[in-house]
Amino acid sequence: MAGVERAVRVERMAGADRTVGVVGVVGVVSAELVWVRAVHLAAAVLLVAGLGVVLRDGPAEPGAALAFAAVIAVGERVRLTLPGDREQAPIGSAVALAYALLGPLRGLPTTHGVLQVIAVAGVGMLSGAVPPLRAPGPARLDAIARRLLTVAFAATLFQPLYDSGTLDRADCTGPAYGLFVSGVAALTALCDATLAAGLHRARTGLRFAAALEDELRSLLGIGSAIPATGMLISLLAAETGLWALPLFCTPLLLAQASFRRAAAVRATTGQTIETLARATEVAGYTPPGHARRVADTACALGRVLGFGTRDLALLEYAALMHDIGQLSLLEPVPCGATARLPQTEQQRIARLGSEVIRETGVPRQVAQQVARLADPCRRPDGSNDPTLPLAARIIRVANAHDELLTLARDRGLPEAAGQLEALELLRLERGDRYDPKVVEALAGLGRREGRGG
């Protein structure tokens, strides 16, 4: 009778969860789609308006417009991908920003205005995105729309004040003019980070705060070079003319090459970790695909719990290598189910795995997370242990969840019933063994997948 009552309780809980989950998820997905479509629509409307004005009135300073559009197109061709699958076109973005902030050119005032800035930047960006080198996919269109809106923002702040003579009447010359241009460039960088964070959330499901933190952190790297280069090109063009374009784009191109090399190193590190993670599977200590499944679940939980791109990468590394310590066992644990072992044995395996990881050269946080995998969430006095990393709590829940699902499949349970049973068992042991917040995040994740499926 107890088993029947428990099954009925689980089914009722799952039914309620599914009902609430469908409404919640549909609301989130709809909001994300609305945001992406709004960005696309705004960029398209501005580009059409800009092209219409340029075609009607003709371009102002056509030689400068052509030069800037050409360099923007080249910059789009040599774009790069930052961690977290965030696309960036440093040279194209910097030159587009320079055109938006362009006042005098070789000592002569310019009159191109906001809409021509949008038209020139848009033509350059689209020219750099067409085949044969690379056809734009959905994510690329998002990035182009974002960059175009960012340029429009900068031009709107600068061009009306310059064209109307307001800056001259305010005696904004010399250092004051440079300070004003620097302020516009800084605000533009913040605008770009906000737009990029919104699109990143829509594409990956990352929380907006975490996505924005990622974008702001990128400003400490090549992200800060983009507005700085754009500002310097616009200021130097006042004296040297279009020679400012190659003069300042070359250092940015070299910096971009350094970022490409760093990305290659990260890719090699990831491949090494994937290979090490399979060692326990090849040796027969864990089921095939266990490490990857745990890593995927852990990363999904990390996104729900607000992890940024860098923290998600560390979490994935630790989850992939969480079972390395099992290689110290004389005999494999049946089905690799370490979650059912005594606490002290789990801790010993985790510590041994951590020592192995320390020798691989991966960031030290990975070894620290693995070392604490089996530690209880509560101290002996019943209080929560604030020193236990959230990543370790997440991996422990993800690992136990996959082990319970594997055992349920071996018993012939249907997938849905196995999922419900695994979640109930985790909920029964939450508090000391499993973090309640992580367990409930897993439940929400299951509702989301059920809705999507």
**pLDDT value of residue 117:** 96
Given CA atoms 413, 417, 418, 424 in this order, what sign does their dihedral have?
Answer: negative
- For 52-63, the pLDDT digits (tens) are 999 999 999 999
**pLDDT value of residue 58:** 92
- For 316-373, the pLDDT digits (tens) are 999 999 888 888 787 777 766 777 788 888 888 889 888 888 887 788 899 999 999 8
Token pair for residue 155? 């031009």
Check whether 38 has a pLDDT greater than 60.
yes
Say how many C-beta atoms besides its own lie within 10 A of residue 451's C-beta: 16
Check whether 51 has a pLDDT greater than 60.
yes
Instruction: Report, as an integer, the average pLDDT of 42-71.
Output: 94
* Percent of residues, the chain, with pLDDT higher than 90: 34
Q: Which helix (H) or strand (E) holds 87?
A: strand 86-88
Token pair for residue 165? 């003579």
Which is higher by pLDDT, 74 or 84? Answer: 74
Nearest to 408 by CA among 394, 425, 396: 425
> To the nearest whole number, what is the mean pLDDT of the chain?
83
- Asked if 367 and 395 touch (Cβ cutoff 8 Å), the reply is no
**pLDDT value of residue 449:** 57
**pLDDT value of residue 23:** 36
**What is the pTM for the complete model shown?**
0.73
Token pair for residue 51? 């092209």
- For 156-211, the pLDDT digits (tens) are 999 999 999 898 888 888 889 989 999 999 999 999 999 988 888 887 777 888 88
Nearest to 433 by CA among 300, 341, 318, 296: 341
- Asked if 195 and 212 touch (Cβ cutoff 8 Å), the reply is no
Instruction: Report, as an integer, the average pLDDT of 213-219.
Output: 81
**pLDDT value of residue 29:** 47
**pLDDT value of residue 30:** 59
Which is higher by pLDDT, 153 or 355? Answer: 153
Instruction: Report, as an integer, the average pLDDT of 7-23.
Output: 39
**pLDDT value of residue 6:** 41
**pLDDT value of residue 119:** 96
**pLDDT value of residue 398:** 94
- For 241-280, the pLDDT digits (tens) are 888 898 888 888 887 777 778 777 777 777 888 888 888 8
Helices then strands (H, E): number in the chain?
18, 2
pLDDT band of residue 84 (cuts 50, 70, 90) is low
Instruction: Report, as an integer, the average pLDDT of 74-90.
Output: 80
- Asked if 388 and 396 touch (Cβ cutoff 8 Å), the reply is no
Widest pairwise Cα distance in the chain: 90
**pLDDT value of residue 1:** 38
- Asked if 245 and 233 touch (Cβ cutoff 8 Å), the reply is yes
